Every structure is written in C-alpha cells, then in structure tokens.
Amino acid sequence: MLPLRELSAALRAGELSPVDHVRDACDRLAADTHGAVVVLDDGRALAEAAERAAELARGEWRGPLHGVAVGVKDLYDVAGLPTRAGSNVLDGHPPAAADAALVTRLREAGAVVVAKLHTHEFAYGPTGDVSASGPARNPHDPTRITGGSSSGSAAAVAAGHVPLALGTDTGASVRTPAALCGVVGLKPAFGALPLDGVFPLSETCDHAGFLTADVAGAALAWDALSGTAAPVVDARRVGLPVGDYWEPADPALTAAVAAAAEALRAAGVEVVGVATPMIDELAAVYPTIVGAEAHATHAAWLAERPDAYQPGTRARLEPWRDLPARDYVDARRTRLRLGAALHEAVRGTDALLLPTTRLRATPIGAEEVDGVPVRPSLLALTLPFNLTGWPAVSVPGATDGLPAGVQLVGVGLDERSLLRLASLACGERW
C-alpha cells in the first residue's frame, strides 16, 4: 500500500484506478490476521470507487482523498452498518441511520469507507485486547497488543491494509496504538474535528483523530478533513519535560526521544528542559473525570445487563457508580486550575517533546511487565494533553526492535505546524 500522499497523486494522475485501489484494500482486509476488521463493506465500497473513477474520467476531483480507501473505528456511525463499539451490549441495535459527521466529511472529500475496525470495548482502555471480538494483534508481533482504544485502526494502517483510518482519543487512544504499531497518530486540539455520531466515552476529554503511515499523509488528511490550510509556523523552541513523571520504563523510548531531540537541534530548533511540578496532581483527576462521565453513559445498561460487558470493562466502570457529585466537580475545577498552571510552566516553548508511552507493545493480556503496570504506562504520558485539549501527535522513533513512539505536543502550534515539526523529529521531509 502506497503512503497516502503518493497514493493520492497516483489516483489523480490516472496511474492507479480507485476501483483497483479499493479492491486491493478490501482484499487485504478480508485476509487480515490481526483482528483489525469488524465489518468489511466491500460491495458498497467498490460501487463508490467506480463512482469516484467516473468523476475522475470527467475531470472532477474532490481533493486529495478522492478515491482513497479509509477504515473507520467502530465507534463512528456509518450509515447502514451496525455500531457495536467492541461490545455485546449493543448486539441487536439497528444499523446506523446516518453517517457520523467526520465520516460525512470523508465521503464529501471523495474517500471510500471500506470497513469498520476493532476498538477496545467502548474505548475504555489503552491496550486493545478487551473486546467482544477478541484482541487486536500487533502486526510487528501478533503475540503483543496494538495499544488502544483505536486498535484496529492502528493495526490496519501498520499492516498496510489502508493508508488512513479514523480513531478517537480520550486519553491515549490514537497516539498509544500509533506508537505501539509504528505509525503516525494525530490527536487534534479539542473540538477541532466533530464527534457527532461517535459513541462517547468522556464528553470533556474525547477527541476525534486519525492514523496514517507517515507524517506527510497525516498532513494531507488533516488539510482534507479540517478544511483549513493555515500557513505553517516554524517552531523555534521545544520543551523536554523533566521529572520522574515523564520518565519511560523502557530505555529504548528514552533513546528514541534523545534521537528526535538531536534531529530537531540539527534543524535549528532549540530544545530545553521544562519542569512541571503540578503534573502528578493534574494527572490524578483524569480517572475521576473520565470514570464519572463514562459511568453516566453506561449506568442503565450496567444495571440491566452487567454480564454483557467484558469483565475488564465492567470492573473499570462499576467503581464510579457512587461517586459523589462534589468529587466530580472538584476534579473538573482542579483540571482547569492546574491545566493553566501547566501552560504557564511551559510558556515560551512552541511544543513539547516526550515519549508517547512508558512501555512498548506488551504481551496480550499482561497486566504488568517486569513489575511495571501496563495500563497506566500506556496512558500516563498522553492523558495530560486530553485534559488541556492541546494538539498532539505520535510518530515512530528510532529503534532496532519493537516500535518506539515519540510524542510532540502543540503548546503554541496548530496542527499543521505541529506536523511539520514532527516530520523534522522523525527525519521525514515533506
């Protein structure tokens, strides 16, 4: 599968037919061995590909996603297909009557939706191995997790099935699977892409996002889906958060960030250490906010059909049943206060550079590795930026083994400028 930018150019130039491309993607997805695919919509996809091909023959071009095969995380509604969110709880619910807003944008841009993809159940987990359909498997090592919750999206892109896949990110769910699978995952700023028609986890932390094979593809997809093309601002100063909170447990991740920092310095960017003394207290409010908001969505189903949930998901939801309203309000207020303090602490930087996760891909089902708890290690370094709502991207870092994700966070940069900085950090040019 060609990277997205090259694929788009080949489709527009007539060097590749949308029908042949979409058929290839559908064949790849049909043969998938990573548990990435929930529903393959090949009949409709091929019909739409023929329509996109006819448009090109008439000289009509909708933009850089014209004729591109795209996968969609199974939290997004796709008209005519069921939304199951990785759960038996939604068995028997009718197919979606309409596309989610971002799926509508995809179609308007000329993209062809080929499949709905695996998600950690109800997006409530960073591992990708808890779902009614079983675990998603990492294309680099099928005994290991993809990360979650956009597990199928990461696996499908990493395996070369599709060049672009939609995901969501509440605390880690685009960036962590991107990091563990060795692809690019963009979490735009809060509210930058619409979430209408997406099953919620936490309304105040949910972000729409997507995954691609490289940074150039992410930039192309961002321009097409956001409808914006603001001038790129070059970063001059990047902050490297220091302190125990930000330290990874895997030395390969430390090395990957160091290599990215050197690449930025070589490009003329100043990289400086920044202290964040409030980070532990800020991060501590995340479980309360997300847990309370998630339980509010699931309370009736938990009471009526608790056994329809996967045991791990039920165990995460039930403790929030009796949370006092005051605790939730206090957590929201602390989030605002300490989010502002974090912004003040990193003032003067254009972006932050840090590992995406504390661990690389772990064995499926493992709760800890060498005494290090898995789930917190996949969430801790990403969740602060769902609390602040800042844009963030995970890109592949230098490694000689399993993928190592490097994260860049926009403090004073928009998404396009952040992606340009990310391309410098990972040695990509576009």
Q: Kindly name the residue from 8, 73, 131, 394 that is annotated as catalytic.
A: 73
Active-site residue flag, 377: no
Q: Which of 17, 87, 131, 149 is catalytic?
A: 149
Crossing angle for the helix pair 325-345 and 286-304, to the nearest 10 degrees? 150
Q: What is the pTM of this model?
A: 0.98
Q: Could you tell me if 125 and 167 are in contact, meaning their C-beta atoms sit under 8 angstroms apart?
A: no
Residues with Cβ within 8 Å of 196's Cβ and at least 6 positions away in sequence, in order, are 100, 101
Is 73 one of the annotated active-site residues of the chain? yes
Catalytic residue among 173, 202, 394, 423: 173
- Concerning whether 149 is annotated as a catalytic residue, the answer is yes
The most distant pair of C-alpha atoms in the chain lies apart, rounded to whole Å, by 62
Answer yes or no: same fold for 4-226 and 237-283+325-425.
yes
List the domain boundaries for the chain: 4-226, 237-283+325-425
Residue type, 287: P
Instruction: Provide the CATH number for the domain formed by 237-283+325-425 in this structure.
Output: 3.90.1300.10
Class of domain 4-226 (CATH, top level): alpha beta
The pLDDT tens digits along the chain (430 residues) read 899 999 999 999 999 999 999 999 999 999 999 999 999 999 999 999 999 999 999 999 999 999 999 999 999 999 999 999 999 999 999 999 999 999 999 999 999 999 999 999 999 999 999 999 999 999 999 999 999 999 999 999 999 999 999 999 999 999 999 999 999 999 999 999 999 999 999 999 999 999 999 999 999 999 999 998 778 999 999 999 999 999 999 999 999 999 999 999 999 999 999 999 999 999 999 999 999 999 999 999 999 999 999 999 999 999 999 999 999 999 999 999 999 999 999 999 999 999 999 999 999 999 999 999 999 999 999 999 999 999 999 999 998 899 999 999 999 999 999 999 999 999 987 7
Closest CA to 172 of 144, 139, 211, 135: 211
Report the distance separating Cα 75 and Cα 90, nearest Å.
11
pLDDT at res. 429: 77
Give one DSSP letter per residue of 18-29, joined into a string.
HHHHHHHHHHHH
DSSP at 276: -
